Structure formats: C-alpha cells, structure tokens
C-alpha cells in the first residue's frame, strides 16, 4: 500500500492531496495502524467507472475523486471518442464540459478540457458554473460527440463526480452499456500506463459563449409561458446551496412568472452546504428553512432544486402536517406532470408512437394516464439513461424527484424545466380557483387513486443484500400479508424487453405490486410498494397494510 501511495504521489498535481497523502505515508511508515488502514481504503480498489460515470469522496487515492483520477478518466474518454471517430469522415469531434459549485468542480473541468484538447478533440468549456441540464442541452446544441458534467448532484458535501453523456445516435443521453465498459477499458489503459504528467495537454480549448445559456433559457421558458393566473402567485424557492437560481431566475423572467420569495441563506452556490447535513430535498430537514420562509410569507407553494438543479421538489400547505407543510412525493409530482404532458400532446395531435415513460419502480399510475389519452407507455430500468431512450418519449419520470418534460431540448432529468411546467400547472389551476392539492384530487377522480411507499433496509455487510435476494429467488413468497402473490418477474431472466437487472417484481392478486432491488448507490435493499384504491383514503390504507406485510416477509428471511 505504501508503494502504491508513493507511485500515486509522484504524479499528483494537487498540492492539497499531495500533503494529505504524504502525511498518511509518513504515519504508516511509523507503524500507525489507522494510517495504514487509510491507505488500504484509498488504494486497495479503484473508483469504478460505470453508467453513472464516476462519483465518490474527494481525497487522494485511486478510490477517491481527485485530479489524477479525473485526468485518467478524461484521457480514457478522449481515447474512446477518437477511436469511434476513426470509422467516420466526420469533422473533429466535439466534447463539451460543464461544472457546478462543488469543491474542485472547476479544477476537474479545466483539467478535462486541457486533456481533451491535447488529444486533438475540439474541447468546449461552459462559461461558468451552471446546472447539469445546461450541459445536457449543450451536448445537442454543439452537436458534440460527448459531454462531461462535473457534479455529485445531491451527494454529501465531500463528494464529487464525473457524469458522461454521448451525442450522435444517443442524442445527448447518459451513457449505457456497452459504451460504459468500453470507456472504462480506455481509462484503465491510461491508469496502467502510469504518470498522468505524460498525457498531452493543451490550453487550446474554447470557452463557450453565453449563447448556449441564452438558448437553453429561451427553450425552457417556452415549456410553460405564464398564463393569466400567474399574477399574484406567492411561492418560495430554494436552490439548496446549488447552481440553479441564476439560470432559473432568468427563465422565470422570460416566461412571465412572478419572482419567488427566496430562501436567501440557500440561494447562492456554496460547496460546503452550511445549512443542511445532506443537500438532498428528499432528506428529512433539508427543506426546513424553505418551510419556515413559506409559513412566514403565507405562501401557496414551495419549489426546491437540488444542488445541480436536475431534480425538483414541491411542497404544499397541509394543516395536518407537524410544520404545516407537506412535500409531495416524486410519484405525485410525476403523475401530475405526466397528465399535463399527455393532455398537451393530445390536444396538439399526438404523433404516432408518442409515449410516456417511467422507471419500473415508479408509480403505475402513469400507464393509466397514457392509456386514457391513447399514448404508448414504456417502463424502463431505473435511471434517466434508460428513461430518455424510451421510443417516442414526450414525458418521463422516476420517483426519486427526476422529470424529463422537454425531450427535444434535454434528454435527461431537468429540475428547472420541470419547475416551469409545475408553475404552469399551478397557475392554470389558480385561474379555475383551485390549488395544487385540488389537482391531486382531480387526478384520483380521473385515473384512479394510486398510493406508493418505499422500505429501505440498510446493511452493514453488503453480502446480506445478495443473501436476501437469493432467498427470495430460491422460494418466491406465496403471499405478502394477507394478499396472495399471483406471479413473480425476475429481471435477471429478461422480462418485457428490459435489460437484465437484479430486480424482482411481485404482482399480487389484488393488483398491488412490490419491487425488490439493491440500491445502486448505498448499502441498502429497497422495496417499492404500489397499490390502487377506490379512493385516496382506501389506497393509503392498503399501501400501509402492504408495507406491514413486506416487513414481516423481511423479518422471516432474517
């Protein structure tokens, strides 16, 4: 481990991580067990490059996010792009790079641009820190072969990441197999070659003009220009210490919506995220400041973006809630936005094959919306890399607060365009004398009352997850609670043209559904529960009973 650390130290261009690593090496050489364990953690494995790119804790070592690892990733991606370009007569491939406000995001982005340019690519760096959806837009705007966004989205403050998009036939979507493995192989060859200082670099990269941002703003403002009911809307907005506000505020002006009441302490980018323990609007406490501001102002609505503004959270007044506000679930928001999209495309004359899509763990209510309007429906594996590729997609969502409302502009989740669409819904309802809560009731009356819940089982030993999944496969449960299991789909065997995945889908005789899968980012087993009831109250009661039965099943497996 000490030898590996010394080899890494010799190529590290970052003074901070060099000092960090020198101190660990010195302590380990003096026999410090904790220091040696620290080196083991940093160098016994490598941060894996997969369909989400790279994401991990900042620090020195092959199992951390740092300038060495990013340089290797950039050189590997450049090798992949150049290899693919050899088979065509196209012009010099373009790679566009964006970055958010996290620690070292700008450094990683500039390193990448220099390495792309040094590899003979046309490298374009976005003009400043911007939301992830702007980078996804820019890939198509520039006709790029690939794009990189340096962000860890809503991860803890000490994390950063490297998200990769592909142009061409991929239309600006995130990478999927086999591209992920091919890029990873290129990255490994760079890492095996050793010293990153030998990689060619160039300062000949371009800085994109503001035109790309202006075009994104114009396209997003057109998603839902403010109707007459917008005047007088009182709403609160938080950027969660991220990069969403500057771009979002310009879109609000262009679309004609009244300015929000801001959560000032969270409005500007701050990679330390000082007011939240975990900068994810799904986490308990993350929206407390927004709720406090909304109570003070008597607001009608709260809207939040996560730090890179690719997710949207919405909350409404609720007298039964402890603090007077209730955050809508990702499924509730997705169903409302899906209803809006289906109505609009139907009114405009839906083209053949127009579809709604969601991840297989998201609410089946979207299929009911699609059927109501005569649209196609697609259920995909989790992640927008799959949702965005649904044939004929006009709208897609996943329950983790991700929404794709403008696929002709951005082929990824976009919390800003989703916020504009939600404001359009809210203000149209205001024009009819209705609040957002009333739209939820209208949805139930029109399409049926759907309710969802989620159970997360955190484990200390990740092998426990594999053991539980194996036990469920070895003997499918005959019932969950008092309801019999009708059939079980094992996605490892291939189901409904879905790519194979470690997912079990259980269908119950009363129409309920339970999906079991390991988390892709944490040591957790996740169960997704969905029911359809005769009313909202009936659905809520049924999903509560289903959750109790699911917990009993897990207890039996042990």
Task: Give residue 462's pLDDT band: very low, low, confident or very high (50, 70, 90).
Answer: confident
> Are 205 and 228 part of one and the same domain?
no
* Residue 34 lies inside a defined structural domain of this protein: no
> Are 138 and 265 part of one and the same domain?
no
The number of distinct structural domains making up the chain is 3
- pLDDT at residue 52 is higher than 80: no
Task: Give residue 363's pLDDT band: very low, low, confident or very high (50, 70, 90).
Answer: very high
Q: How far apart are CA 145 and CA 91, in angstroms?
A: 11
> Are 479 and 410 part of one and the same domain?
no
Task: Give residue 444's pLDDT band: very low, low, confident or very high (50, 70, 90).
Answer: very high
Task: Give residue 403's pLDDT band: very low, low, confident or very high (50, 70, 90).
Answer: very high
Any catalytic annotation for residue 153?
Answer: yes
Q: How far apart are CA 149 and CA 131, in angstroms?
A: 9
What pLDDT sits at residue 324? 93
* Residue 349 lies inside a defined structural domain of this protein: yes
Mean per-residue pLDDT, 130-137: 98
Q: Which of 420, 447, 474 is the last residue of a domain?
A: 447
- pLDDT at residue 244 is higher than 70: yes
Looking at the chain, the whole-number percentage of residues with pLDDT higher than 70 is 99
* Residue 521 lies inside a defined structural domain of this protein: yes
Q: How far apart are CA 70 and CA 116, in angstroms?
A: 12
Contact indicator for 126, 39 with CB cutoff of 8 Å: no
Q: Which of 183, 209, 235 is the last residue of a domain?
A: 209
pLDDT digit string, tens, across residues 65-111:
999 999 999 999 999 999 998 866 668 999 999 999 999 999 999 99
> Are 202 and 272 part of one and the same domain?
no
* Residue 17 lies inside a defined structural domain of this protein: no
> Are 453 and 437 part of one and the same domain?
no
> Are 438 and 292 part of one and the same domain?
yes
Lowest mean pLDDT among 33-47, 83-97, 113-127, 497-511: 83-97
Compare 495 and 191 and report the one with higher pLDDT: 191
Of 109, 97, 189, 105, nearest to 136 (Cα)?
Answer: 97
> Are 476 and 531 part of one and the same domain?
yes
What pLDDT sits at residue 257? 97
pLDDT digit string, tens, across residues 466-495:
999 999 999 999 999 999 999 999 999 877
Which domain CATH number covers 459?
3.30.310.50
Task: Give residue 497's pLDDT band: very low, low, confident or very high (50, 70, 90).
Answer: confident
- pLDDT at residue 402 is higher than 70: yes
Task: Give residue 548's pLDDT band: very low, low, confident or very high (50, 70, 90).
Answer: very high
Is pTM beyond 0.85? Reply is yes
What pLDDT sits at residue 85? 87
Q: How far apart are CA 345 and CA 350, in angstroms?
A: 5
Contact indicator for 383, 347 with CB cutoff of 8 Å: no
Q: How far apart are CA 190 and CA 193, in angstroms?
A: 5
Q: Which of 426, 447, 468 is the last residue of a domain?
A: 447
> Are 285 and 398 part of one and the same domain?
yes
Which domain CATH number covers 78?
3.40.120.10
Compare 265 and 50 and report the one with higher pLDDT: 265
* Residue 231 lies inside a defined structural domain of this protein: yes
Q: What is the dihedral of CA 214, 216, 218, 223, to 10 degrees?
A: -170
Which residue's structure tokens are 């899968």?
Answer: 517
Task: Give residue 500's pLDDT band: very low, low, confident or very high (50, 70, 90).
Answer: confident
> Are 460 and 429 part of one and the same domain?
no
- pLDDT at residue 33 is higher than 80: yes
* Residue 55 lies inside a defined structural domain of this protein: yes
Compare 339 and 557 and report the one with higher pLDDT: 339
> Are 484 and 544 part of one and the same domain?
yes
Among 105, 153, 379, 388, the active-site one is: 153
What pLDDT sits at residue 50? 77
Q: How far apart are CA 406 and CA 421, in angstroms?
A: 10
* Residue 28 lies inside a defined structural domain of this protein: no
Domain housing 321: 210-447
* Residue 22 lies inside a defined structural domain of this protein: no
CA distances from 172 to 5, 308, 410 (A): 37, 17, 7
Contact indicator for 144, 126 with CB cutoff of 8 Å: no
Looking at the chain, the whole-number percentage of residues with pLDDT higher than 90 is 89
> Are 181 and 93 part of one and the same domain?
yes
> Are 252 and 175 part of one and the same domain?
no
């Amino acid at each position: 481990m000490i030898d590996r650390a010394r080899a890494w130290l010799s190529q590290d261009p970052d003074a901070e991580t060099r000092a960090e690593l020198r101190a660990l090496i010195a302590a380990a050489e003096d026999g410090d067990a904790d220091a040696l364990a620290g080196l083991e953690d940093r160098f016994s494995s490598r941060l894996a490059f997969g369909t989400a790119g790279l994401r991990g804790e900042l620090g020195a070592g092959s199992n951390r996010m740092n300038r060495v690892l990013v340089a290797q990733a950039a050189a590997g991606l450049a090798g992949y792009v150049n290899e693919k370009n050899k088979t065509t007569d196209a012009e010099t491939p373009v790679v566009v790079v964006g970055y958010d406000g996290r620690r070292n995001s700008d450094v990683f982005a500039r390193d990448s641009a220099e390495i792309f340019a040094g590899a003979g690519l046309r490298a374009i760096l976005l003009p400043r820190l911007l939301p992830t959806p702007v980078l996804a837009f820019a890939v198509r705007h520039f006709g790029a072969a690939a794009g990189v966004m340096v962000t860890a989205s809503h991860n803890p403050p000490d994390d950063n990441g490297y998200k990769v998009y592909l142009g061409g036939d991929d239309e600006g979507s995130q990478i999927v197999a086999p591209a992920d493995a091919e890029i990873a192989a290129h990255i490994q060859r760079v890492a095996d070659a050793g010293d990153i200082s030998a990689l060619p670099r160039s300062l000949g990269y371009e800085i994109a003009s503001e035109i790309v941002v202006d075009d994104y703003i114009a396209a997003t403002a057109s998603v839902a220009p403010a109707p007459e009911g917008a005047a007088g809307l009182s709403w609160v907005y938080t950027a969660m210490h991220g990069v969403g506000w500057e771009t979002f505020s310009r879109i609000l002006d262009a679309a004609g919506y009244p300015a929000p009441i801001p959560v000032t302490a969270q409005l500007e980018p701050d990679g330390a995220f000082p007011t939240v323990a975990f900068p994810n609007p799904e986490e308990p406490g993350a929206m407390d400041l927004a709720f406090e501001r909304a109570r003070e102002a008597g607001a009608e609505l709260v809207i939040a973006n996560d730090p890179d503004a690719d997710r949207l959270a919405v909350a409404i007044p609720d007298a039964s809630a402890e603090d007077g506000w209730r955050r809508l679930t990702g499924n509730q928001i997705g169903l409302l936005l899906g209803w809006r999209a289906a109505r609009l495309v139907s009114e405009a004359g839906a083209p053949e094959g127009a579809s709604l899509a969601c991840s297989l763990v998201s609410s089946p209510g979207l299929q009911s919306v699609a059927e109501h309007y005569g649209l196609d429906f697609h259920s995909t594996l989790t992640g927008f890399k799959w949702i965005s590729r649904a044939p004929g997609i006009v709208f897609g969502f996943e329950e983790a607060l991700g929404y794709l409302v403008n696929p002709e502009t951005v082929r990824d989740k976009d919390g800003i365009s989703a916020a504009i669409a939600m404001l359009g819904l809210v203000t149209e309802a205001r024009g009819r004398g209705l609040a957002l809560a009333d739209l939820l009731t209208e949805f139930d009356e029109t399409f049926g009352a759907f309710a969802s819940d989620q159970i997360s089982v955190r484990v200390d030993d990740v092998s426990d997850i594999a053991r539980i999944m194996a036990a469920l496969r070895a003997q499918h449960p005959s019932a969950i609670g008092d309801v019999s299991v009708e059939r079980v789909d094992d996605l490892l065997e291939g189901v409904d043209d879905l790519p194979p995945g470690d997912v079990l889908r259980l269908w119950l005789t009363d129409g309920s559904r339970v999906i079991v899968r390991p988390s892709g980012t944490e040591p957790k087993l996740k169960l997704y529960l969905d029911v359809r009831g005769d009313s909202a109250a009936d659905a809520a009661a049924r999903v509560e009973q289903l959750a109790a039965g699911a917990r009993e099943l897990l207890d039996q497996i042990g």
